[in-house]
Structure 1
Amino acid sequence: MRQILAAAAGLVVLAASGCSAPTPPRSAVPPATPTGPATLPAPTGAHPVGTTALYLKDTSRPDPWNLDADARELKVTLWYPTEQRDGQRAPYMTPKESELLLKGTGITGAPYDTLSKTRTDAIKDAEPAGRKLPLVVLSPGFTRPVSTLTSLAEDLAGRGYVVAGIDHTYESYATTFPDGRVAECLACDSDTDPGFGTGTAQGRAADVSFVLDRLPSKWDGSGVIDRSRIAMVGQSIGGAAALATMVQDPRVRAGIDLDGTTYARIPKSGFSRPFLFIGSPQHVPGGNDNSWDRDWKLLTGWKRWLVLSGADHQTFTDVALLAGALGVTPPYGVLPAARATEITRTYVAAFLDQHLKSRRQPLLDKPSSRYPEVEFCPASCGRS
């Protein structure tokens, strides 16, 4: 269910969590003094990053949220390595998308177009470079556009991955289509409905499978993709969708859930493809969310369960990086934004390098003195 951090804590949540906490009432975030446009951390890989957007229509099924639509329309943002170092930087989002997102989350301390001025590192419509690159699908949290995972997407592209971020239409505050239409959130008040999590995760799994079907024919640069090496990473309900997709679609070889309650029904015989849980302390064994305890027992292949001390639900997104530009202050005790981004990028990339590039990563075998915030579960985490 949607979880909006209390305004008293001072940190705006740019989306709903898709987790199991009850939904508190909405309230406006107290205005503060914005620090100016935000700049995302530069990608750490060796390659410059390009980006482009695709618009796909699935005529085989109606839209699950819009009863007037007889087809499911999706926006897919691609990030990828390029040799081009100069060119127009891609906008973080459009002014209208920024306005709808800030209004939806109750932010009043910054101009509504603030997020459209956020500086990214990806060059718009640059030519892709490389060959036989692994593909990573990204799925965001509920009410959030995939742009709120841009810092992670750009970093993976710079490391030699093609990243396909899916905007699940009508599940975020704004999705803009090529003809100028802006699809607003029709699902935002549905997260307390019975079966919401299970249905949403299954719907997103269908979105992902459709994108994988169509990507080769719809993107001119798709020749750089190695279709035998595909993984999925999701935050919140997007993390739930990663597991749900893997259960349904064998093309996805490995998956990561970033702090999301899971809903997929795993076969009792077990599930053997590699999977990584990374979450906040609510996901320690016996914590507020028991879905990881349940699923851990059924994961029979390579698996890790990591908890970040000092993290909250938005640690794994761009939210904290944007807080200053929006005139809000992260709550006490949360990992600093730069550190949270570094840890998320590092462990996600290590998992993908090991399972899509066959590069063994000792970082994933045991706790690291370089990242003492990361606890390995279920053996010892949450007991210090």
Structure 2
Amino acid sequence: MRRLFPVFTMPEPTGTYAIGTFEAHLTDERRNETKRGTAPEAEAVREIPITVWYPAELPSQQDNEAENYPDSLGECISLVFGLPKGLFRHVSRVKTHMFKNARVAKERSSYPVLLFSPGIRSTRYQSLTLVEELASQGYIVIGMDHPYTSARVTLKDGSRAEYLHEPEFAQSRELYDYNVKEVAVRALDARFVRDTLEEWNQPSSGHALSGRMDLNRVGILGHSYGGATAAETLATDERFAAALSLEGGFWGKVSHKPLERPFMYLFTGGTAQSLNPDASKKEAVFFEEWQEDADRVMRASRSDALFATVEPFYHQSFTDISLVSPKLFAKQVSPERTIEITRSYATAFFDRYLKGMKSDLLGQDVAAFPEVRYRPEYTRMGDTALTGGYLDGNATPNAEAASR
């Protein structure tokens, strides 16, 4: 069993910053919860538990104890694959590179911000290797959980909000319309988190991140349902400068109006095979309307648009699942290479559109990553970028950053 479920070592982040972290529980008093589910019967408002990861000063030697990997990832894998939860106890013995409540790094006066939305039945901790990399590269990352579409969320009163299975629908269009409504709730979660960051950033707030967030440079990324959340948020909230979807759907307004700010989509070879009408096996995440939506969104974009397929990946490759059990989940590519690919392209995208840093990885195939191939009909790049002096410390955004 130890060979099948090893106590793995987290890959070292490649950035220059140590990583601090803390958790917070946000309550949106303006919205009532639309799903009762496993929550108490009393009327409730919408809650969004978050974890924040940020560039930090390396703690002193006596406080130099990194956090362990949260055990919630094991619970999610159990839920998604129907495996006993006991198989994943080893996850909580893994050391991360995160330090609780470490001091924010002093190197810069403020840092760009990224929101992360997990997949359905998943957790904000599902892709910690990616989150650690982004924080080490100088991003403040906020991971959101979404009650009833995330796997399991502890509410403010201590009760649990469990994932609620979708109803059974006779036609795919009914499920599609259901997903539109659910993703809209998640996009409102992202909007509320963005509102909260404004409050935290005020000098009078007394918050540890007060004045340290560059809210002119905010992006969003997510996996699966979280990727759909990222795309819909970009389409509906102009405060978000760029979005990355790790194989999400296009449910909501995003499929009906052109995107005005940079967007990148990473597809997997496993799901791409499902587009073949003659394919005998379809990925569980495949839905009939995806091709039409993707074609419309990518071609209609009024800003930079990038679409690439990672040939050896399958849908869960964008999470840390291959580390949890390489023999079961790594499949065609090693865990280390899986993480390297995801980290490299996500960082390159946000470095370009939030920091103004060019990268050879964007918009063209490169020999260093033969697994990644761009779809030329869906990919075009111009001069769009938030270039307003980030590298020289000036936080003033470029007036042309939102569109070409």
TM-score by length of 2: 0.78
- CA 1:301/1:92 → structure 2, altered by over 3 Å: closer, same or farther? same
Q: Is the 8 A contact 1:285 1:293 kept in 2?
A: no
Q: Which residue of 2 aligns with 1:47?
A: 17
| 1:239 and 2:227 correspond | yes
Consecutive unaligned residues of structure 2, counting only runs of 5 or more, are 201-206, 277-285, 380-404
Query: Secondary structure of 2:96's partner?
Result: coil
Consecutive unaligned residues of structure 1, counting only runs of 5 or more, are 1-30
Q: Which residue of 1 aligns with 2:313?
A: 311
- CA 1:109/1:54 → structure 2, altered by over 3 Å: closer, same or farther? closer
* Aligned equivalents of 2:256, 2:15: Cα separation in 1: 40
Q: Which residue of 1 aligns with 2:364?
A: 366
Length, aligned pairs only = 344
RMSD between superposed Cα atoms in Å: 2.6
Query: Secondary structure of 1:368's partner?
Result: coil
- CA 1:49/1:138 → structure 2, altered by over 3 Å: closer, same or farther? same
Q: Which residue of 2 aligns with 1:107?
A: 83
Query: Secondary structure of 1:59's partner?
Result: strand
TM-score by length of 1: 0.82
* Aligned equivalents of 1:268, 1:142: Cα separation in 2: 23
| 1:298 and 2:297 correspond | no
Query: Secondary structure of 1:362's partner?
Result: coil
Mean alpha-carbon deviation: is it higher for 312-321 or for 102-111? 102-111
Q: Is the 8 A contact 1:284 1:378 kept in 2?
A: no
Mean alpha-carbon deviation: is it higher for 76-85 or for 201-210? 76-85
| 1:329 and 2:328 correspond | yes
Q: Aligned runs of 1:64-83 on 2, under 5 Å?
A: 64-66=34-36, 68=41, 69-83=43-57
- CA 1:174/1:268 → structure 2, altered by over 3 Å: closer, same or farther? closer
Query: Secondary structure of 1:113's partner?
Result: helix
Q: Which residue of 2 aligns with 1:8?
A: none
Q: Is the 8 A contact 2:4 2:328 kept in 1?
A: no
Deviation at 1:59, TM superposition (A): 1.3
Q: Which residue of 1 aligns with 2:140?
A: 162
Deviation at 1:107, TM superposition (A): 2.0
Mean alpha-carbon deviation: is it higher for 48-57 or for 258-267? 258-267
Q: Between Structure 1 and Structure 2, which shows a larger proportion of helix residues? A: 2
**Radius of gyration: which is bigger?**
2
Q: Is the 8 A contact 1:33 1:109 kept in 2?
A: no
**Deviation by residue 1:165-216 (Cα, 9 ceiling, x = unmatched):** 101122222223466443322x234485632221121111000000111124
Identity of aligned residues (%): 28
The match for 1:92 among 63, 69, 94 is 69
* Aligned equivalents of 1:268, 1:178: Cα separation in 2: 36
The match for 1:171 among 118, 140, 149 is 149
Q: Is the 8 A contact 1:47 1:158 kept in 2?
A: yes
The match for 2:165 among 182, 185, 188 is 188
Deviation at 1:147, TM superposition (A): 0.3
Query: Secondary structure of 1:145's partner?
Result: coil
Mean alpha-carbon deviation: is it higher for 137-146 or for 119-128? 119-128
* Aligned equivalents of 1:251, 1:284: Cα separation in 2: 36
Q: Aligned runs of 1:10-29 on 2, under 5 Å?
A: none
Query: Secondary structure of 2:329's partner?
Result: coil
The match for 1:213 among 174, 187, 195 is 195
- CA 1:222/1:138 → structure 2, altered by over 3 Å: closer, same or farther? farther
- CA 1:216/1:116 → structure 2, altered by over 3 Å: closer, same or farther? farther
Q: Is the 8 A contact 2:5 2:90 kept in 1?
A: no
Where relative contact order (Cα < 8 A, 6+ residues apart) is larger, the structure is 1
Query: Secondary structure of 2:49's partner?
Result: strand
**Deviation by residue 1:339-364 (Cα, 9 ceiling, x = unmatched):** 11101110110110110001122221
| 1:144 and 2:157 correspond | no
